[in-house]
Chains A and B, each alone.
Chain A
């Protein structure tokens, strides 16, 4: 174990490199990559690494980057790619294909606003566009978490009971370009943590076709299997956390991270780095005598319904902060979690930091000033954060 000053982009690339090397006694590592701000530095860093039995293919598009991962995973290799924003939109068709083919590609996303008009800054709308594709989705709040989650993502994606792509999101620039101390395990530890990639349906010598025509009842069966595998993710992830802790002597973050939430009557729910800011806001509000806590949804797909319900139980008011908007509806996280609160709980949606606006603790305390006197929730409210 060593500590290095790394951006989340470089940390993600390093995690992928170590995971790639860990499969050198298996069928190796292969990655297709294409640059886009703010994930470019991740692919550049990956391209600088020497990976025994590994290859990084510099493709002509994100669509092909995921295409390369699909071909390589179908041939049994460990696979990784990274993108952002329009790159993810362009890659989307193949993300769906990788998911439907149940190939364990690990996909890092440095979240960025979709354009044009071009905007380089963070917004979760890119990743959430793929919400229903059958990829596991994590949203991280710091660089260490990005690194750890990527390592866990390989283990999770390749777990025989999961066997599907895992997306790990980091807020563009806020994490992707911020340099912090990151603990990096040794290769030998990673080798112990990650078993060799074994994809049961990989192409071999036996004639069988992957991704061929299927009829409705077969698709139904496949969706059912995929859905069931998704629902099993929280349990598998918990076991991976145990194993991670046993090897690296440090526990990766939970699927849902609660902060001073036990005795709170009011909760602030969010994803990504806003969750870290919310914790500072909670401290400020607690100092003023408010019984406020925070809940950060780290695992968004599958949504850890039971855990969220447990934390929602008995709360009087819940603020759900979304750094995204489903136009014509409201915040996507809010849409997902509002039904998990007790009847009578005031669940109010705040849309903040869209297009990368800097959400600071005072924005969140401002939301609470709006929420606390409320007896009923109103429409999703846009909070200007500039």
Chain B
């Protein structure tokens, strides 16, 4: 098959894996998923990747047939099938002794909601798949409806008063499958992120990565502030950055300072929280409970070190 063209220019060998996400993609400015691609690029180096993507913004950003903005082969699937399709592709790579890393990249809708059954099953079967959820806490592609990853207090197009239920704890759910590796990734902590991506790429079995992915369009935030928002979410303890090995060993990678100021800043920089007026004081009791639990799980009752 002829290599697809990009903007009228034939691809060269150099274009191939680098960058993973090439110019001409349709992502909004400031999209966290775009940053994730660049980090994956960095982490993947010369490793052979294949993408599997269920319906989502990620599936759209590949561009219009026959162009492809991805630097590696990619397969778009139905919304609920990311993990199942990735299982099939990974099985064939394994049967043929290939070291291709099959990477399923899915949104929170494709992960927490409609895809949760195939995700859980692929994890339980311990398929050789790296599953990455870029969690923008909303159905971005369909214009911003709630998902079970939408946090309490955020408005969505179908919840104009704001969500009252809490966000689902998908990382714990995945860890409970006792998969070899489950971790959360902060795009604002590039070194930690690239280390984990690389580790996950080279591991065998089912690996799950959760990425808090700023979505200026859905969060009603400034595109330039995405990384800052992630930093605030990590600093305040809202988004714990940790890794879980075999569902047992918990390691907290970034120690928050639990600043209410950071949390209030995080909330106030996103207009999705404006209507409900949710503030740090509302969230803190739950965050504290969550962190007490994490401390017990990680075996560190006392924080290792303070800092961002």
Give residues in A with beta carbon < 8 Å to B: 27-28, 30, 32, 53-55, 57-61, 63-77, 79, 93-94, 97, 200-201, 203-215, 218
Q: Are A204 and B52 in contact (CB under 8 A)?
A: no
Residues of A within 8 Å of B78, CB to CB, are 63, 67, 93-94, 97
Q: How far is the CA of A214 from the CA of B76 in the complex (A)?
A: 12
User: Closest approach, in angstroms, between the C-beta of A113 and any C-beta of chain B?
Assistant: 25
Residues of B within 8 Å of A30, CB to CB, are 88, 91-92, 95
Given contacts A209-B62, A212-B68, A213-B65, contact A69 B73 (CB under 8 A): no
Q: Are A72 and B117 in contact (CB under 8 A)?
A: no
Residues of A within 8 Å of B81, CB to CB, are 63-64, 67, 70, 94, 97
Given contacts A27-B96, A30-B95, A64-B118, contact A209 B74 (CB under 8 A): yes
Q: Which residue of B lies closest to A96 (CB)?
A: B78
Q: Are B65 and A218 in contact (CB under 8 A)?
A: yes
Residues of A within 8 Å of B59, CB to CB, are 212-213
Indicate if B270 sits at the interface (CB-CB under 8 A).
no
Given contacts A71-B84, A97-B77, A206-B73, contact A61 B95 (CB under 8 A): no
Determine which of A71, A77, A79 lies in contact with B86 in the assembled complex, contact meaning CB atoms within 8 Å: A71
Residues of B within 8 Å of A209, CB to CB, are 4, 62-63, 65, 68, 70, 73-76
Known contacts A68-B88, A203-B50, A209-B76, then 17 further A-B pairs from the complex at CB < 8 Å, ordered by chain A residue: A30-B91, A30-B92, A30-B95, A61-B118, A66-B84, A67-B85, A71-B52, A71-B88, A71-B102, A72-B91, A207-B11, A208-B66, A211-B76, A212-B64, A212-B65, A213-B60, A213-B62
Q: Are B88 and A67 in contact (CB under 8 A)?
A: yes
Determine which of B64, B91, B92, B94 lies in contact with A214 in the assembled complex, contact meaning CB atoms within 8 Å: B64
Given contacts A67-B77, A213-B62, contact A57 B125 (CB under 8 A): yes
User: Closest approach, in angstroms, between the C-beta of A86 and any C-beta of chain B?
Assistant: 16
| B interface secondary structure, majority | mixed
Q: Are B91 and A64 in contact (CB under 8 A)?
A: no
Give residues in B with beta carbon < 8 Å to A: 1, 3-4, 11, 15-16, 48, 50, 52, 59-60, 62-66, 68, 70-78, 80-81, 83-96, 102, 117-118, 120-121, 124-125
Q: Are B75 and A53 in contact (CB under 8 A)?
A: no
User: Closest approach, in angstroms, between the C-beta of A57 and any C-beta of chain B?
Assistant: 6
Q: Are A28 and B92 in contact (CB under 8 A)?
A: yes
Residues of B within 8 Å of A211, CB to CB, are 75-77
Q: Are A70 and B88 in contact (CB under 8 A)?
A: yes
User: Closest approach, in angstroms, between the C-beta of B202 and any C-beta of chain A?
Assistant: 19
User: Closest approach, in angstroms, between the C-beta of A211 and any C-beta of chain B?
Assistant: 4
29 A-B interface contacts by CB (under 8 A): A57-B88, A58-B125, A59-B121, A61-B117, A64-B121, A65-B84, A67-B77, A67-B81, A67-B85, A68-B84, A69-B88, A71-B77, A72-B89, A72-B91, A72-B92, A74-B85, A75-B92, A76-B92, A203-B73, A206-B73, A207-B70, A207-B72, A208-B73, A209-B65, A212-B59, A212-B62, A212-B63, A213-B62, A213-B64
- Nearest 8 pairs of A and B residues by beta carbon: A71-B88, A67-B84, A60-B121, A64-B84, A211-B76, A72-B88, A75-B92, A71-B85
Given contacts A57-B87, A201-B1, contact A77 B95 (CB under 8 A): yes
Q: Which residue of B lies closest to A218 (CB)?
A: B65
Q: How far is the CA of A206 from the CA of B93 in the complex (A)?
A: 15
Q: Which of the listed residues B75, B87, B88 has the most CB atoms from chain A within 10 Å of its own CB? A: B88
Q: Are A63 and B80 in contact (CB under 8 A)?
A: yes
Q: Which residue of B lies closest to A76 (CB)?
A: B92
Q: How far is the CA of A215 from the CA of B86 in the complex (A)?
A: 26
Q: Which residue of A lies closest to B66 (CB)?
A: A208
User: Closest approach, in angstroms, between the C-beta of A247 and any C-beta of chain B?
Assistant: 27
Q: Which of the listed residues B60, B77, B102 has the most CB atoms from chain A within 10 Å of its own CB? A: B77
Q: How far is the CA of A73 from the CA of B91 in the complex (A)?
A: 11
Q: Are A75 and B77 in contact (CB under 8 A)?
A: no
User: Closest approach, in angstroms, between the C-beta of B8 and any C-beta of chain A?
Assistant: 16
Residues of A within 8 Å of B11, CB to CB, are 207
User: Closest approach, in angstroms, between the C-beta of A30 and any C-beta of chain B?
Assistant: 5
User: Closest approach, in angstroms, between the C-beta of B138 and any C-beta of chain A?
Assistant: 20
